[in-house]
Structure 1
Amino acid sequence: MKFSRLVLPGVTMIAVTYGLARFSFGLLLPGINESLEMSEFVSGIISSLFYLAYCVTIILSTVITTKEGPRRMIILAGLSAFVGLLLMGITPNAWMLALGVLLAGGSTGLVSPPYGAAISLWIQEDKQGKANTWINSGTSLGIVLSGAGAIFLTPHWRLTYLIYAVLTLLILIWNFRAIPKVGTSSRLKFRKGDLTLRGVKGATPLIVASLTLGISTAAFWTFSRSFIEVAGDYSDWQLSGFWVIIGLFGVLGGFSGSLVEKGGLSLAYKIGSLAIASSPIILSFAPGSLLMSYLSAGIFGCSYIFLTGALLVWGIRVFITNASLGIGVPFLLLAVGQVIGSIFAGWFIGTWGYATSFIIYGLVGIVAALMGPKKN
């Protein structure tokens, strides 16, 4: 299959599931809280449903993709995102909002493993690493779109979600037409993978590294915008611009596949993890400076997408006979680490303040750099 025929719809599907269905919620939450008269406690519980849904659906998607191939899960992910966004746009109360969040958040778990399987089926082997990392960078495109939506449409969060839903439906139709059915070609036969982790060489370092990286990134994802809002005198558009910078620079993370090919996986992982460790540390020293906060956001956005691309390649190399498991395992552990990291970040910030807490999470990122793959 032609590289762009699979990668382009893949990039856009990742953009709408991760960027619009998942990450846009935090930016629109103030308006949602005001309209639905939700307390911080209720909105916090609803926000946690994104992580819960992701952890459940990425396991489900990995199992089904392993048994049946990628097409069904990709289409289901788009459908889940569409319905979730639609419900969030028309919701009359917190209960329907929670259902929409579950469906929207679940779409991200459904979508990641099958694209790894699709690439292993239909993209030439020497281009698979590049294809995986570019599809993964679709998260950045979605973050940029959600940031732009927050800048221009924040007072109209319902309209924003309805626009996102229509865009998701169009991209779902594109993917429906672009992703072939397994078995439609006599040259392509889907080989069922092995779901076990037992005896897989290199699985334990991958699991520990993914979990540690998830913990190290949690404070930035959850509290960086609140940090600069408290520490500096920023306008609403500057606060939303901080988010846009994360997405714009995240696009550069798509080049991780090229660096893996040229410098090796071990070098790419170390560069990415050290870069992501530096971003909360930089922010902790100058949160009131627009230049330094945006620099921190740019480094974080680029290194996060870069690093998840490296984890993706690492996982596929470890689970060489099952690409969906190779993506599902590190991404699941990354999410679990973010749940753990978010819980402790709130406690640390309440005890020691933002600056000290962000330095701690930066140090955790440095520890993660020591856990990378030993071989290229």
Structure 2
Amino acid sequence: MNFSRLVLPGVTMIAVTYGLARFSFGLLLPEINQSLGMSEYISGVISSLFYLSYCFTIILSTVITTTDGPRRMILLAGLSAFVGLLLMSITPNVWVLALGVIFAGGSTGLASPPYGAAISLWINEDRQAKANTWINSGTSFGIALSGAGAILLISNWRLTYLIYTILTFLVLIWNFKAIPQDRMGSRLTFKKGDLSIKGVKGSIPLVLASLTLGISTAAFWTFSRSFIETAGDYSNWQLSGFWVIIGLFGVLGGFSGSLIEKGGLSFAYKLGGLLIASSSIVLAAAPGNVLIAYVSAGLFGCSYIFLTGVLLVWGIRVFITNASLGIGVPFLLLAVGQVIGSILAGWFIGTYGYVTSFIFYGIVGMATVFMGPKRPLLIQE
């Protein structure tokens, strides 16, 4: 299959599921809090539902993709994002918002494993790492788009979500036409035991790293925008610009495949871990300074997308016989960590304040540097 025929619709699907349906919540959260009267703790709990539903759907998607092929799960991901965003756009209360969050968060879990499988089926092997990391970078385009939308729409978060709903529907139609309809189940059936991490060499460091990275990034995704808003005198466009910077610099994460090829998986992971930990600490140092805040946003954006690309490649190399499981395991554990981290962040901030909390999460991020792939993996590179 032509590289762009699969990658371009894949980038847009990841953009609407991850960027618009999932991570835009942190940008719109202050207005949602004010409109629905939510506390920081409730905000943290609601945010954790994104990751909780993701945990369920990524398991479901991994299992079904291995037997039925990627097409069904990709389309279901788009449909789930559409329903979630629609519910969030019309929500009258916290309960309907929570239901919309569950559908929106679930869409991301449905989307990731089938694209990994689709790439392994229809893209030449020498271009698969690049295809995976560029589709993964679709998150950045979605985040940048959500930030630009917030600048134009200011605080009308319901209208914002309605526009996202329409865009998601268009992307769903594109993928419906682009993804091959051939049943590929026979080529995606794996030997008994391949859906288990037990006994798989290198799986334990992958699990620990993914889980801890998830914990360390949860506070930034959910509360960074609220943090700078309370710390400084920012205009609405500056607050939205903070989110745009995350997205724009996240596009640089699409080059993680190239850096892995040149410097090795271990080096790429350590570099990403140091950058993402630094972003929280830099923000805590001077949250009221727009330049420092934007530097922090840039660091976080490029390092998060970069690191998820590294985890993606690392997972596929560990679970060499099952590409969808190789994506599913690290992304699942990343989400489990974000469930834990998001709930704790709401409590930490309410108890100790933003500065202390973000420094703590930065330290947790620093710890992940010591959990990366070991040198022997470079042999496979």
Normalising by the smaller structure, the TM-score range is: over 0.9
Asked if 1 retains the 8 angstrom alpha-carbon contact of 2:48 and 2:340, the reply is no
Deviation at 1:31, TM superposition (A): 3.8
Deviation at 1:182, TM superposition (A): 3.6
**Within the alignment, does 1:191 sit opposite 2:188 as a pair?**
yes
**Alignment match, 1:86:** 86
Distance 1:233 1:248, change over 3 A: same
Deviation at 1:37, TM superposition (A): 5.5
Give the Cα–Cα distance (whole angstroms) in 2 for the partners of residues 81 and 343 of structure 1: 23
**1:16-70 residue CA offsets vs partner (Å, 9 max, x unmatched):** 0111111222333344445555566655543332122111111111111111111
**Alignment match, 1:222:** 222
Give the Cα–Cα distance (whole angstroms) in 2 for the partners of residues 228 and 309 of structure 1: 28
Distance 1:191 1:27, change over 3 A: closer
Give the Cα–Cα distance (whole angstroms) in 2 for the partners of residues 92 and 367 of structure 1: 41
**Alignment match, 2:285:** 285
More deviation, 194-203/353-362: 353-362
**Alignment match, 1:235:** 235
**Alignment match, 1:24:** 24
**Alignment match, 1:130:** 130
Give the Cα–Cα distance (whole angstroms) in 1 for the partners of residues 34 and 254 of structure 2: 37
- After TM superposition, the structure 1 = structure 2 runs for residues 261-300 of structure 1, keeping only pairs within 5 Å, are 261-300=261-300
The CA RMSD over aligned residues, in Å, is 1.9
Give the Cα–Cα distance (whole angstroms) in 1 for the partners of residues 31 and 362 of structure 2: 31
Gaps spanning 5+ residues in structure 2: where? none
More deviation, 31-40/101-110: 31-40
SS at match of 1:75: helix
Give the Cα–Cα distance (whole angstroms) in 1 for the partners of residues 293 and 36 of structure 2: 32
When the two structures are aligned, how many residues end up with a matched partner? 373
Distance 1:342 1:34, change over 3 A: closer
Distance 1:226 1:35, change over 3 A: closer
SS at match of 2:206: helix
Give the Cα–Cα distance (whole angstroms) in 1 for the partners of residues 6 and 93 of structure 2: 39
More deviation, 46-55/243-252: 46-55
Give the Cα–Cα distance (whole angstroms) in 2 for the partners of residues 91 and 106 of structure 1: 18
Gaps spanning 5+ residues in structure 1: where? none
Asked if 2 retains the 8 angstrom alpha-carbon contact of 1:183 and 1:190, the reply is no
Q: Which amino acid in 2 is paired with 1:304?
A: Y
Deviation at 1:164, TM superposition (A): 1.1
Asked if 1 retains the 8 angstrom alpha-carbon contact of 2:41 and 2:346, the reply is no
SS at match of 1:190: helix
Give the Cα–Cα distance (whole angstroms) in 2 for the partners of residues 79 and 353 of structure 1: 38
- After TM superposition, the structure 1 = structure 2 runs for residues 59-138 of structure 1, keeping only pairs within 5 Å, are 59-138=59-138
More deviation, 340-349/272-281: 340-349
Asked if 1 retains the 8 angstrom alpha-carbon contact of 2:77 and 2:110, the reply is yes
Q: Which amino acid in 2 is paired with 1:191?
A: L
More deviation, 56-65/217-226: 217-226
Asked if 2 retains the 8 angstrom alpha-carbon contact of 1:88 and 1:97, the reply is yes
Give the Cα–Cα distance (whole angstroms) in 2 for the partners of residues 191 and 76 of structure 1: 19
Asked if 2 retains the 8 angstrom alpha-carbon contact of 1:182 and 1:190, the reply is no
Q: Which amino acid in 2 is paired with 1:197?
A: I
Give the Cα–Cα distance (whole angstroms) in 2 for the partners of residues 358 and 94 of structure 1: 26
Give the Cα–Cα distance (whole angstroms) in 1 for the partners of residues 71 and 220 of structure 2: 34
**1:335-357 residue CA offsets vs partner (Å, 9 max, x unmatched):** 11122222333343344433233
